[in-house]
Every structure is written in C-alpha cells, then in structure tokens.
Amino acid sequence: MSSNEIFDYYRTHTTFSEDDVADFYVYTQDTARPTDGLMAIAGLTINLLEHAWNQDNLMLLITSCDGISPEGFERVVVGLLLVMIQHDEYIRRDRALLGEIQEVLTYAPELSFTALTNIARTTQMKRMEQFNAQLTQELMPLMNNRETNEFYDIIRSRQSEMEHIAKMQLDQNFLVFREFYSTPFFREHAANWLLPWTDDALLNIQEEDREDIEGLIQLWPMCDSDKYALCQAYPSFKSMIKSQLSVDSLREVGIDMQGKTIVTNGYIQQLYRFFRLGGASLDSVIKPRGAGVFDLAPKLRDLLVYRLVVVGTRPQQSINQFLA
C-alpha cells in the first residue's frame, strides 16, 4: 500500500485484525520507508478522534512506541494528548490505561509539555483571526495611499494587539497560507494534509521557481503542509508571493523567525489545519465543525491531561497565559 492508503486504512477501520496490528508495527518501525509509519500513526490518531471511544485502538497507538523513530514518537505523544482531551471521561475511569499513557508521556516530559503548550496556543487562533479581519477591513480602503496619517494612525492604535500576538508566538503562518489550501492537492486526498515534507515535492516545480521556493522554505519556519501548500499554490500566487513573501523581504527577520521554531510544533499545526480548513471532511462520513478536538483546548485546566503533564508553578504560568 502507498502511504496515503495506509493513512486511509487506519483512519477508517474501527476494528483491526491481528495482521493489521502486526502491519502497523512494521510500518512504524520501517526505517526504509519512514513516511509509511508516520502516516499510519496519523491515520490511527484521526480514527481515535473521529470515532467513538475505542480502547483497543488507543492501546495500539501506545504500544507502537518501541523501536519507533523520534518523529514517530512525537506523533504518538501528540496523538495521546489530543485523545486525552477528547476522551477525558473514559480515560480517567481506567487506572491501568492511565498508567500506560503516563508511562509514554513521562518518558519525554519536556516533549509532552511543549506539545500540550502548543495545543493550548491554538486557543488564541480565533482571536488572531478576528483581529486580522478587522485590521484588514480598516486598512483596505487606504492601501493605495499609505502616506496618509490615517493609515499609520490605525497601525499605531493596533500596536498593543500586534505585540500580544508576537509575544504569544502564535501561528501567523495560518493567516498567510490558508488561501493556498484550496488547491486540488489538498482536495483530492485527506492524507496530503498530514504528509511529512520531502524535497521530492520540489521536483515538479519549474526550475526558475524552485530556487525561490527553496529559499523561502529554508528561511521561513513553516509546518510541512504549508510547504506543500506553497509549492502547489506558487504558479497561481507567484506575483503576490514574490512581492510580499520574497526571500529578500524576509531575510532581515529570518534569524528571529528561525529562533522561534523551537516553540512551534509542526505536526500540531498540520492537524489544526486538517480540522480547521476542511481536510477532515474529506473521505469521511463525519462532517466536523470548527476545529475539531482543538475546540476543546480552552477547557484544558479542567482535564486530567493538564494535571498529568503540567507540573509546577512555572509550567502552569507558562501554559495558562494561552488559556486565560
């Protein structure tokens, strides 16, 4: 099976045979074809989030950690955190199951905390979108005459909110790239939203454009699906990208932006786009609303996963700023 077919299989089946389980372990431990394992984990994670509670499938995700790659383990941790958010009432009833989950999360406590923090960070996304829409509406009539005082008065009046967004290190790429997700690549298969990046995607780009795209990808931290979106949309949005997102225009802020990649979790950003921009509605009988499981994130402090992962006053202060 292809990576996309593997994703589909573990996303859509609610029960798995012994052969299916054995194949899952093979995929997740196969170093020759790492994408297969990453997509199997992604498919099973979406399965656990889209369908009714299924403890057997959760145990399959948990027990896949042995012999797994670092990238695969990160996807498992993110999956467990999201499942704990979605199915809190079931997990808190089963001490044995909770112990299994805790063993995985405490194996890499910093990773678990960073991932949960990035999940909490998504709670500020709607506020950022609303601010961007209001600012655009106010500035649009003045875009052809930026020398007016009114244009800069509006910018200054919004300075505190801009500083808040910068301080929170929110996923501003979402605002830039969301229009690029309307291309056929993302409409033809749900798996494409969660693919890990490979430079092979650049082979289909015209040579004259490839250098520009490679430069942007190297300079500008973005999740893997944004990289695919950039490649797919470049022919249609070339003039806009060249004028607003060029390498030259970003170079002076590139060092600062690269320094922030440590606090962004690309896989979480991919999952957020998957639910928020429509990927989850493809190849599924379930029609999700809003941002799926991420809509539950504001309630994190009431959930068991918070008490399990957020230990100590300083971590609480760090994550609570996004949950206020």
User: Taking a C-beta distance cutoff of 8 angstroms, is the pair 223, 266 a contact?
Assistant: yes
pLDDT band with cut points at 50, 70 and 90 for residue 211 = confident
Dmax (CA) of the chain? 70
- Amino acid letter, 262: I
Q: Which residues of 232-247 are buried (b: 16+ CB within 10 A; e: fewer)?
A: bbbeebeeebeeebeb
- Residue 195 gets which letter from DSSP? P
Q: Which residues of 75-85 are buried (b: 16+ CB within 10 A; e: fewer)?
A: bbbbbbbbbbb
Query: Which pLDDT band holds residue 289 (cuts at 50, 70, 90)?
Result: low
Residue found by looking up tokens 């372990």 in the block = 25
Cβ neighbours for 260, distance < 8 A, ≥ 6 positions apart: 169, 221
Structure tokens at 307: 């008490």
Please report the sign of the dihedral spanned by the C-alpha atoms of residue 227, residue 112, residue 60, residue 307: negative
* Residue 103 pLDDT exceeds 50: yes
Taking 90 as the threshold, does the pLDDT of residue 219 lie above it? no
pLDDT of residue 89: 95
- For the chain, give the mean pLDDT: 84
Give 129's pLDDT tier (boundaries 50, 70, 90).
confident
pLDDT of residue 255: 36
Q: How far apart are CA 216 and CA 210, in angstroms?
A: 10
Q: Is 231 exposed, middle or buried (0-12, 13-18, 19+ CB in 10 A)?
A: buried
| Average pLDDT, integer, range 55-83 | 95
Taking a C-beta distance cutoff of 8 angstroms, is the pair 82, 297 a contact?
A: no
Convert the pLDDT of each residue in 81-98 to its tens digit. Answer: 999 999 999 999 999 999
Measured CA to CA in angstroms, residue 115 lies from 96, 97, 189, 220 at distances of 23, 21, 26, 21
Whether the predicted pLDDT of 239 surpasses 50? yes
More confident residue, 109 or 147: 109
> What average pLDDT does this structure show over 38-45?
97
- What pLDDT is recorded for position 75? 96
pLDDT-derived band at 39 (thresholds 50, 70, 90) equals very high
Lowest mean pLDDT of 8-17, 25-34, 288-297, name the range. 288-297
Structural tokens at position 265? 């979790």
Please give the structure tokens belonging to residue 266: 């690309």
pLDDT of residue 237: 75
Does the pLDDT value for residue 195 go beyond 60?
yes
For the ranges 36-45, 167-176, 181-190, the one whose mean pLDDT is highest:
36-45
By residue count, the chain amounts to 324
Closest CA to 90 of 117, 131, 58: 58
Banded pLDDT at 263 (limits 50, 70, 90):
very low
User: Cα torsion for 115, 264, 170, 107, to the nearest 10°?
Assistant: 20
pTM for the predicted model, two decimal places: 0.86
**Local structure of residue 198 (DSSP, 8 states):** -
Q: With a cut of 80, say whether residue 17 has pLDDT above it.
A: yes
Decide if 31 contacts 69 (C-beta within 8 A): yes
